[in-house]
Amino acid sequence: MTDQDTHTTPQPHDDARDDRDGRRISGVDIELRDVVKKYPGQKAPAVQSLSLTVPAGEVVMFIGPSGCGKTTSLKMINRLIEPTSGTITIGGEDVRGRDADELRRTIGYVIQGGSLFPHMTVADNIAVVPKLLKWSKQEIAARTEELLDLVGLDPARYRDRYPRELSGGQQQRVGVARGLAADPPVVLMDEPFGAVDPITRQRLQDEMLGIQRELGKTIVCVTHDIDEAIKLGDRILIFSEGAHIEQYDTPENILAAPANDFVADFVGAGSTLKQLSLSRVNELRMGEWTTARQGDDAADAVRRAEAARQDCVVVLDERGRPVAWPWLRTLRRQQRIDVPRRDELVTLDRRATLNDALDTMLSSSHAAAIVTGDKDEYLGVVDFESVTQHIRAQEAAAAEATEAGGATEAGEAAGTGEARP
Amino acid sequence: MSAETLETTTGPPDHERRTSPDEESAPADRGARGWLARKSVSRETVAMLVVPPVLVALAFIGFLVWRQTAELDSVEANQLKWSTLSRLLVDHLQLTVVAAVIVVAVSLPLGIALTRGRVKRAAPLVVGIANAGQAAPSVGLIVLLFLWLGGGFWTAIIGLSLYGILPVLRNTITGIQAVDPTLVEAARGVGMTSTETLRKIELPLAVPVIMAGIRTSLVLIAGTASLACFIDAGGLGEVLQTGISLFRFSLMITGALLIALLALLIEWIGRLLELAYRPKGV
């Protein structure tokens, strides 16, 4: 392990801490103090005295109307834009105390669509920062492998491809891998999932949550999508023009108690519906469903399904992953179960939100959705009934909490972030 | 009817089946087509690469046959001697290559400099001057230089270089400016310095445009080099000029044909270079 110790790359794992829930944190605090950005020739400053703290290991979503200064604020953290005045510290260290290029090598940066360099292979794209940091070839190769695995791309298959040989979702995954390459404690994201289709976006968001759970980085992410902010953010910062903070709080509190009309308007109508983005599928009670393996006796499966009063069977492959969801009338024509893999079989990750779950159910002919776990293995089935049950339970719990005073939530919020400069 | 029989009759071979955009294409279907496949060469490009050398070769064979069989008077025979022709051809090539090297050596750094920092604002001015240089008739430029510097090889080189600068300069500037600004910002955002961004991102991505400029410039220089004979710098223009002054159609046609063939050949070489230097994956 000697060469591990001698190279100069940051090793945030060494001082990784655990937070209250026992989750590992490798990120550090970001603090902005009275930061102003004024462009020459403009009357009003783009960013008007912004002060905020991003706690280590949290995901903070910057959101606001276009031109509100959210992207400017983000880019001032890695000095792509130099602040006119004020201080920004990362892990207690003033960002202006270091060379801007060196600083940026220690901060992850993920951009819309991935912004991969088209003339470099996937591996070369991921290796950009490690190369700048002069890691050894072996270290870079090992790290590339590790990151491709982390973002769910088979290294052997994708390492040597060029970006145009990848789908939009895959490009974005590589973009995330590039941002994480040198294991930076802080990652900045600028509308990372804005350029992909809704289904891919949902999947990428779920994966990002999984990765974040594992790594515990400090992430600042700009978005224009309030649902994305609610889903991904530990905390949401709502800006109005001039990067004025309208509210900086947890998604739960912003939905339940918008600070003013601006926030209420911005969050929009149907906040009950938006609450659906706060709950995950694995919180639901999953229904028992008849399952069978490829090659099993078809008649037996049909019998079991009929006994359970169900009209279809979930067919799994040898590794327990759902492949198809055929109706009984299909199986009755077969001796042994032999159903083709259905590519359009849409499954739900257990980390998906209830919002995503409802969406999937509505478009499914079964009015229900298959839930899968980490390696795509089958976990169960959820339907509308399980969602409504969950909401009723939540409402009951909320009503109880209000009667008890509801002071706990407010107290927690005040302790961690500051709402206004 | 089982699934298998369908598969064997109408199903595509396994490695060609694509399911969803997120699904990978098998690596087996690449590699076979080699490096050309990776550079996504269109059918037109292939035609552009194959047709010109064939035409040039055919025309040249036609010329050879005519040259060996035609009855020539003494003036023609003298001017069309193989030794004379090859000397003039070498002159011509020298003029072209030396001027082209100077053009690239001057306009590439100049073009790059004009996309950087504060110098950027001077770009329209410089391009304007280069434009004016090219708008001036080439004969006029060469004659003026002759009056100023006297005749000879290097005067011709100066004239040709001035004339060839614009395409390379303009394409270098536009090529670098046309690189997607989000890529440049991404490069800066992950910690590349300005120079590293230029070297690793902007220049490689601008190469196709820059190479097109170099090719245009080469062809321009090769054509204009036929005027070098007016100031005693040799080149294939001599055959043409002799033909005109002595009114020999055979010489005029030979001169014109050889200059045209050379220009076509140089254009073709330029295209080969363009393809060879194009970055992979673009």
Q: What is the pLDDT of residues B201-257, one digit of tens each?
A: 999 999 999 999 999 999 999 999 998 888 888 888 988 888 889 888 889 999 999
Q: What was the pLDDT predicted at B15?
A: 40
Query: What number of other Cβ atoms are within 10 A of residue B52's Cβ?
Result: 17
Any residues with CB less than 8 A from the CB of A334 and at least 6 apart, and which?
Answer: A298
Q: Average pLDDT for residues A11-38, to the nearest whole number? A: 71
> CA–CA separation, B282 vs B274, rounded Å?
13
A152-166, A171-185, A309-323: segment of lowest average pLDDT? A309-323
Q: What was the pLDDT predicted at B4?
A: 38
> CA–CA separation, A68 vs A149, rounded Å?
37
Instruction: For the domain made up of B56-277, give the CATH fold.
Output: MetI-like fold (1.10.3720)
What is the tens place of the pLDDT at every residue in B73-90?
888 888 888 888 899 999
Q: Average pLDDT for residues B23-37, to the nearest whole number? A: 42
Structural tokens at position B26: 């098998």
Using a CB–CB cutoff of 8 Å, tell me whether B189 touches chain A.
Answer: yes
For residue A176, the chain B residues in CB contact (below 8 A) are none
- ipTM of this predicted complex? 0.74
For residue A165, the chain B residues in CB contact (below 8 A) are 25, 281
What is the tens place of the pLDDT at every residue in A199-220?
888 888 988 988 898 889 999 9
pLDDT range class, residue A57, cuts 50, 70, 90: very high
pLDDT at A421 over 70: no
pLDDT at B25 over 70: no
Q: What was the pLDDT predicted at B34?
A: 46
Contact (CB, 8 A) for A81 and B241:
no
Mean pLDDT of chain A: 84
What percent of chain B has a predicted confidence (pLDDT) above 70? Answer: 85
Inter-chain touch A111–B282, beta carbons under 8 Å: no
Mean pLDDT of chain B: 82
> CA–CA separation, A220 vs A202, rounded Å?
19
What is the tens place of the pLDDT at every residue in A113-130?
889 999 999 999 999 999
Q: What was the pLDDT predicted at A308?
A: 85
pLDDT at A273 over 80: no
AA identity, residue B240: L
Q: What was the pLDDT predicted at A342?
A: 64
For residue A338, the chain B residues in CB contact (below 8 A) are 3
Any residues with CB less than 8 A from the CB of B184 and at least 6 apart, and which?
Answer: B197, B201, B202
Work out the minimum CA distance from B183 to partner chain A, whole angstroms: 6
Q: What was the pLDDT predicted at B26?
A: 37
pLDDT at A76 over 70: yes
Domain locations in chain B?
Answer: 56-277
Which of B190, B194, B197, B211 is best to mutate for the A interface (most A CBs within 10 A)? B190
* Structural domains of chain A, with CATH: 2-106+184-270 (3.40.50.300), 282-386 (3.10.580.10)
More confident residue, A398 or B267: B267
Q: Average pLDDT for residues A400-416, to the nearest whole number? A: 48
Burial class (CB in 10 A: 0-12, 13-18, 19+), A318: exposed
